[in-house]
């Protein structure tokens, strides 16, 4: 644990940090609401059920093996010696959280924060797989994400792994830096969402026979915005906890973190509203909400290393990026992502990591360090290259294998019937009358 050298990280600071983590589940509730609200009414119960199961499986899988392989800086790890330097590539903690005293120690905070981070990551692909992803496949895919992909990359970034060692080994700034999880949680989740969307293919009727996309509006905009607001509280907790546990910040720095997080989300949402308003004549609620989430996502990595106006600037870029990315994936790539998860979490997360290199001032760690070490931007670029060159193939490959063993997509008949009736035997809103006709031509 790097903050162990930080004199502020006392027992009281640990408990304060713990309370930051206690707010993180609200981010999960928010994401589940956003995903559900942006999906169809006839899949709403299925989406919520999938969310509850994903969180449950993530919690179990993380505590069985996820934490053991993520580990924490300073803990036991497998080290590869290449070029005269030691590279830590996976942690070597015992399974089942054995030998970890869960009493507020830095390691125990990593475990609790990691459990909720893994659950958040697991909720992200549910957005892109909405309306066609089998519940059983969701569960299996979550096991792979939380048991394999997430802990490996989280070890590299947060567990003292080789990305974090880039500073020590090659003098690249402080090494790859991501305080709140723009890469570990969001980009990993977003790239998994992309893999899922590729593997499942678009929803029936999403594209005409000429390949033109049809608008399939979300079924409950109130849920979407409520989700955005709950997510804000969750992100305050997430970024503050990450800044203290993984970036050596003091608990008082959470003021800066909260202001930056809010400004980044606000600027991003406003940018998305303005862009859609100018381009389409009317501002678009779902893109504005995606912009808000993208701003939260982008704020995480640099949350404690920038001043408020810089956070707002990061948010403005995020809002534009998410807006154009959603359109690009839908129009050019023919990727059907009902929840906008790929753009908000994947692109937003990568931008957040890059922003650390471009905008933030990352001070060196340790008591006798001075000045701002150079090469931080290069460490961030190496991290992004790792996300695209290693994490994306890994998560795609694992889900491709899963799909080979048993198709992850529901049957055509099931999709026509709606996920709720087909997979759960009951609709989410059985007493309400809904339009029998579909939005697209199918």
Applying the rule CB under 8 A, the residues between 266 and 325 that interact with its own copies are 266-267, 269-270, 273, 280-285, 288-289, 292, 307-309, 312
Instruction: Report the alpha-carbon distance of residue 68 to residue 396 in Å, rounded.
Output: 23
Given a contact cutoff of 8 angstroms between Cβ atoms, the answer to whether 340 and 322 are in contact is yes
Closest distance to its own copies from the beta carbon of 201 (Å): 23
User: Can residue 225 be called a binding residue for its own copies (CB under 8 A)?
Assistant: yes
DSSP of 144-187, one letter per residue?
HIIIIIHHHHHHHHHSS-TTTTHHHHH--BTBS--SS-IIIIII
Nearer CB in complex with its own copies: 269/302: 269
Q: Which of 84, 367, 371, 430 binds its own copies (CB under 8 A)?
A: 430
**Burial class, 64, CB count within 10 angstroms (exposed 0-12 / middle 13-18 / buried 19+):** middle
Nearest to 106 by CA among 235, 5, 194, 33: 5
Q: Does 433 bind its own copies (CB under 8 A)?
A: yes
Say if residues 100 and 114 touch (Cβ distance below 8 Å): no
x-marked contacts with its own copies along 2-41 as a string, rule CB under 8 A: ---------xxxxxx-xxxxxx-xx-xx--xx--x---xx
Q: Kindly state whether residue 213 participates in binding its own copies, applying the rule CB under 8 A.
A: no
Instruction: Show contacts with its own copies in window 98-137 (CB under 8 A).
Output: 102-105, 108-109, 111-112, 115, 135
Cβ contact 150:425 at 8 Å: no
**Count of chain residues binding its own copies (CB under 8 A):** 110
CB of 357 to its own copies, least distance (A): 22
Q: Could you report how far apart the first and last alpha carbons of the chain are, in Å?
A: 55
Nearer to its own copies, 292 or 329 (CB): 292
**Which two structure tokens, joined as six digits, stand for 391?**
């994490």
Looking at beta carbons only, is 201 or 250 nearer to its own copies? 250
Any contact of residue 57 with its own copies (CB under 8 A)? Answer: yes
Closest CA to 72 of 128, 3, 173: 3
Q: 220 vs 380, which CB is nearer to its own copies?
A: 220
Site string for its own copies, 60-99 (x = CB under 8 A): x--x--------------------------------xx--
Q: Which of 205, 250, 363, 440 binds its own copies (CB under 8 A)?
A: 250
Q: Which residues have CB under 8 Å from 235's CB, separation 6+?
A: 27, 180, 261, 265, 296, 299, 300
């Amino acid at each position: 644990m790097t903050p162990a050298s930080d004199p502020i990280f006392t027992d009281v600071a640990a408990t304060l940090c713990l309370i930051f983590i206690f707010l993180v589940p609200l981010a999960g509730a928010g994401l589940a609401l956003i995903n559900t609200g942006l999906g169809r009414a006839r899949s709403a119960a299925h989406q919520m059920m999938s969310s509850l199961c994903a969180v449950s499986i993530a919690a179990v899988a993380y505590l069985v093996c996820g934490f053991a392989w993520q580990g924490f800086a300073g803990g036991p790890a497998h080290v590869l010696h290449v070029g005269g330097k030691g590279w830590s590539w996976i942690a070597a903690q015992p399974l089942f959280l054995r030998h970890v005293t869960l009493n507020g120690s830095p390691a125990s905070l990593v475990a609790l924060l990691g459990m909720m981070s893994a659950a958040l990551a697991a909720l992200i692909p549910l957005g892109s797989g909405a309306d066609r992803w089998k519940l059983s496949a969701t569960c299996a895919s979550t096991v792979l994400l939380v048991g394999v992909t997430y802990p490996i990359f989280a070890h590299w970034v947060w567990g003292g792994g080789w990305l974090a060692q880039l500073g020590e080994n090659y003098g690249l700034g402080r090494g790859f830096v991501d305080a709140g999880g723009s890469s570990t949680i969001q980009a990993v989740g977003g790239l998994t969402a992309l893999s899922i969307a590729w593997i499942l293919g678009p929803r029936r009727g999403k594209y005409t026979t000429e390949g033109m996309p049809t608008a399939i509006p979300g079924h409950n905009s109130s849920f979407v915005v409520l989700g955005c607001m709950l997510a804000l509280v969750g992100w305050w907790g997430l970024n503050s906890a990450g800044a203290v546990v993984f970036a050596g910040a003091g608990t008082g720095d959470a003021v800066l973190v909260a202001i930056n997080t809010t400004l980044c989300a606000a600027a991003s949402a406003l940018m998305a509203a303005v862009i859609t308003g100018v381009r389409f004549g009317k501002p678009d609620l779902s893109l504005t909400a995606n912009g808000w989430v993208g701003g939260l996502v982008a704020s995480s990595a640099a949350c404690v290393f920038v001043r408020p106006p810089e956070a707002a600037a990061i948010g403005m870029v995020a809002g534009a990026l998410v807006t154009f990315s959603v359109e690009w994936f839908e129009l050019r790539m023919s990727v059907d992502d009902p929840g906008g998860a790929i753009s908000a979490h994947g692109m937003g997360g990568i931008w957040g990591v890059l922003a650390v290199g471009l905008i933030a001032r990352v001070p060196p760690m340790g008591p006798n360090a001075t000045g701002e070490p150079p090469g931080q931007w290069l460490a961030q670029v190496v991290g992004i290259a790792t996300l695209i060159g290693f994490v994306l193939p890994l998560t795609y490959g694992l889900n491709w294998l899963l799909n080979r063993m048993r198709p992850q997509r529901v049957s055509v008949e099931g999709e026509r019937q709606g996920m709720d009736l087909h997979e759960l035997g009951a609709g989410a809103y059985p007493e309400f009358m809904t339009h029998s006709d579909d939005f697209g031509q199918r």
